[in-house]
Chains A and B, each alone.
Chain A
Amino acid sequence: MSSSTTHTSTIGAIGAPSRRNTELALLAFAVVIPLFAYINVGLALDGELPSGMLGYGCGLGLLAAVGHIVVRRFAAYADPLLLPLATLLNGLGLVVIWRLDQSEKLQDLAKAATGQFSASAPKQLMFSAIGIALFVAVLLLLKDHRVLQRYTYISMVAALVLLLLPLVPGLGMNVFGARIWISVAGFSIQPGEFAKIVIAIFFAGYLMVKRDALALASRRFMGIYLPRGRDLGPIIVVWAMSILILVFETDLGTSLLFFGMFVVMLYVATERTSWIVFGLLMSSVGAVGVATFEPHVQERVDAWLNPFSDAVIASTGSDQIAQSLMAFGSGGVLGTGLGQGHSDLIGFAANSDFILATFGEELGLAGVMAILLIYGLIVERGVRTALAARDPFGKLLAIGLSGAFAIQVFVVSGGVMGLIPLTGMTMPFLANGGSSVIANWALIGILIRISDTARRPAPAPAPNPDAEMTQVVRP
């Protein structure tokens, strides 16, 4: 490797340009594209410009502007792509949620289920605003991400509390078979989305301290090096508890996410490939174990293998996967055009878990590939931030968060596209759901903070009076 001589991935320590103007230009696109999409939907559905055009356009523009100003002021050297990409996804999500609000079929469905229909898009815009507010708060309050190290064990407790909240009687709600929501003052919150970030902080903090012990003070057992119990024990316990709680809440997607994040961070911290092997082994044991005593899991696997079978549809009570696959198929390469598909056939989850299917049908292969690449870019910028970070805690936190983001995107879109069994998570930023949007804005905030610290030019070395004196004397 010639990486010792050329800097291909990490950003040089000195004099990285701030790229704030690049970010501003990209943000303009990130606001204009959803605005055009919004106009497109309105024209397709009613043949006229949608009435809320000014409201939504200004709303999104304002959010982007606030985000940009705060970054310019408080994180001047941050990665210039993260904010525009997240804004673009958030904007496109708003457009499609608004488009699905217009569907008579979904309105009827909501009226039949709860007696009334209320549009989701205004709420989503509000949650996006709260999300941006949290993003701003993160940048204002978190001057240096290393501060978070102090809260390693508090994070652990917080994560477990957050995960346990939905199991508290009277607070938690069982919605469509998963007990992952809590109801506070009329709002339903998914604590798991926030637990994702908090537990990443705990993992990063703990592993940073113990990484040498984990990697080196190990005993050889059956050909692989196992760390000492006192090093690995606590983290295994916390992790296992989270997984168990999630299994009881039948939140399979999030348990998969926690597992993946744990293995990734452990691997990065210890630099031992055996962890990957070990992780995969454990995950397959875990998966088979859970599948044998959880009928819920069994159903999902059946629905994944035979999405069109009548027996499976009857036993699961829904044909969402089949409908989703047909939505993708009907979209084809170029799609039907925004507002002109029938993805509302998927039913109540069309604007949350299955929102990607609407993109598939109405924007086609081209649109979905673009969306996936945007997600890919966010993850790539996250990994780049981890590479650039100068402290192990920052590296671990950045890779944990971006790894979790990547796994979440893979698990949701893979499930919706029938690549893997459906586990029920939301597409970050796109899907309808307050907790998801807010938590992911916080996640982006932390990544931006880490990247700002990483890219900030090192203070110029103090002038050394000896330097001028030194001369090379040729014989």
Chain B
Amino acid sequence: MNKPLRRIAIFCGLLVLALLARDNWLQYVQADTLAEHKKNRRVSIERYAQPRGDIIVDGKAITGSKESGSGDFKYQRTYKNGPMWSPVTGFASQRIGATQIESIEDGILTGNDDRLFFTRSLDMITGKKKEGGNAVTTLNARAQKAAYEGLKGRGKGAVAAIDPSTGAILALASAPSYDPSDFAGITSKEGKLFQKLDKDKDQPLLNRALRETYPPGSTFKAVTAAAALEHGLYDDIDSPTKSPLPWTMPNTQTELKNEGNIPCKNATLREALRVSCNTVFGKIGSDLGKDDMLETAEKFGFNSEQFVPVRSNASVFPKEMDKPQTALSSIGQFETAATPLQMAMVASAIANDGTLMEPYMVSELQAPNLDVIEKHAPKEMSRPLSEENAQKLQDMMQTVVNEGTGRNAKIDGVTVGGKTGTAQHGVDNSENPYAWFISYAKTDSGSPVAVAVVVEDSAASRDDISGGGLAAPIAKDVMQAVLDSKK
């Protein structure tokens, strides 16, 4: 009976061998795939096992962490003044995931980033628990507060403010907003709340400052004016332009209308910007042609996404259009659409004597021990207009604030330049217009702030006063806040 016994022994050996082979396949060959499988909860458990690093504004954390209290995710995110900061931070939710800075700098915040490898290895040896690093932002808490409070009082809208000399983003507000603390955990209650926010027709989850493009209306005339100066159509801002009134758009029977009865016939550039003449700037656009207009608009950043490092939607200046469409586009209508960030970039390039700096909002990434891992150096993005022309445009925009539609943005003792806009939209302009204001403040030591404000106007009359009346005060408060914090 020994021969079959030996064979059975071999058979049992093969059974064990098969198990060993399978185990090697699972735990060696397939180990990483399984360990990082999307259904493998260990990844999330690990992720929430220690407090997340913080997002820092003006040296203070605007985020925090607390113990979840239940479940296997130990820590969850908390936010200080969440609705105000959510366009900056995004959210980090155990249930839904992370967005914006919370998502982009996730590696640093959780402490998993490869650049933290050295500190992490050191901690492993010394037995210290893993910690997350911090993301230091460029934001100005007072400016952000002014922007958010201003918007909240006026309904829906967004504000973007930039330091023109560096491109550092100072304020990024959006209303209505949400508090990311409300759904930072994993409970189904939090999931339902998120669903509700997601379906809300007012879109509180939308970051209007970066992700929504609005027709910029008359504020785009600043770009058209820059194009006119840059391409040599007009040199002197105080000489009359060749602008008939009424003006029929080329190749059409349609007259381009101004809002109200304003003196636009052969108006100077300064005067045309002051009262916001559609005829003058429409004709400039059509005289320059789409290529010149497109060139200037793209130098200001149109038609490309910005990564600040959160991605902003690309603003649109149409590439294909005929003469009358070019005229309409040049006064911020037709298909022209801009994010608040884009219009703040326009104002900042003008304020910075023609140099557009790349916008950014994370100035530094820190290791858990506060060592700097990465520091952002301001970078020039383009030069949409020459220094001389930029100063001419500044002159014109200051007239708008001092004697024109932007009087509401005046600040005593400070030079302020701006441009209002009321953008009509919807089929046959049936929907309520957007009130726009872009501006900058200037002191002896240069310009510390350029800002763009859009208010999704619900009850405004359809003239430029809406931009000046609704948006300009917010812009003023934001500029004032930045100026105050510089003192």
Task: Please give the residue numbers on chain A whose beta carbons come within 8 Å of chain B beta carbons, in ascending order.
Answer: 9-10, 105, 264, 267-269, 271, 308, 319, 322, 325-326, 328-333, 342, 345, 360, 364-365, 368-369, 372-373, 375-376, 379-380, 383, 386-387, 392, 395-396, 399, 402-403, 406-407, 409-410, 413-414, 417-419
Contact = CB atoms under 8 A, between A and B. Distances in A.
B23 A330 contact: no
B39 A319 contact: yes
A380 B31 CA distance: 30
B68 to A, nearest CB: 13
A319 B39 CA distance: 10
Interface stretch (B11-19, B50-58, B78-86, B274-282): B11-19
Given A308-B37, A329-B34, A342-B42, A383 B5 contact: yes
Contacts of A365: 23-24, 27-28, 31
Interface string B424-461: 00000000000000000000000000000000000000
A267 B8 contact: yes
A333 B24 CA distance: 8
Given A268-B5, A271-B3, A414-B18, A380 B72 contact: no
B45 interface: yes
A364 B27 CA distance: 7
B485 to A, nearest CB: 47
A392 B8 CA distance: 16
B2 A326 contact: no
Given A271-B1, A387-B2, A406-B12, A329 B23 contact: no
B100 to A, nearest CB: 29
Contacts of A373: 16, 20
Interface of B: 1-9, 11-13, 15-16, 18-20, 22-24, 26-28, 30-35, 37, 39-42, 45, 72
A90 to B, nearest CB: 20
Contacts of A268: 1, 4-5, 8
A410 B19 contact: yes
Nearest to A360: B27
Q: Name which of A10, A269, A326, A399 has the most chain B CB atoms within 10 A of its CB.
A: A326
19 contacts: A264-B8, A268-B1, A268-B5, A271-B1, A329-B35, A329-B37, A332-B27, A342-B72, A364-B27, A368-B23, A368-B27, A376-B12, A379-B16, A383-B8, A396-B1, A399-B8, A406-B16, A410-B16, A413-B19
A419 B21 CA distance: 10
Nearest to B41: A345
A474 B72 CA distance: 90
Given A342-B72, A372-B19, A372-B23, A9 B39 contact: no
Given A10-B2, A322-B39, A418-B22, 17 more contacts: A271-B3, A308-B37, A328-B34, A329-B40, A330-B34, A330-B40, A332-B31, A342-B72, A345-B41, A360-B26, A376-B13, A383-B8, A395-B5, A409-B16, A410-B19, A414-B19, A418-B26
Nearest to B27: A365
B6 A329 contact: no
Given A308-B39, A360-B27, A271 B16 contact: no
Contacts of B31: 328-333, 365
Given A368-B27, A406-B15, A326 B39 contact: yes
Given A342-B72, A383-B9, A402-B12, A395 B1 contact: yes
The 3 closest A-B pairs by CB, nearest first: A329-B34, A365-B27, A376-B16
A419 B18 contact: yes
Given A329-B30, A342-B42, A417 B22 contact: yes
Contact of A269 (B1, B27, B30): B1
Contacts of A326: 34-35, 37, 39-40, 42
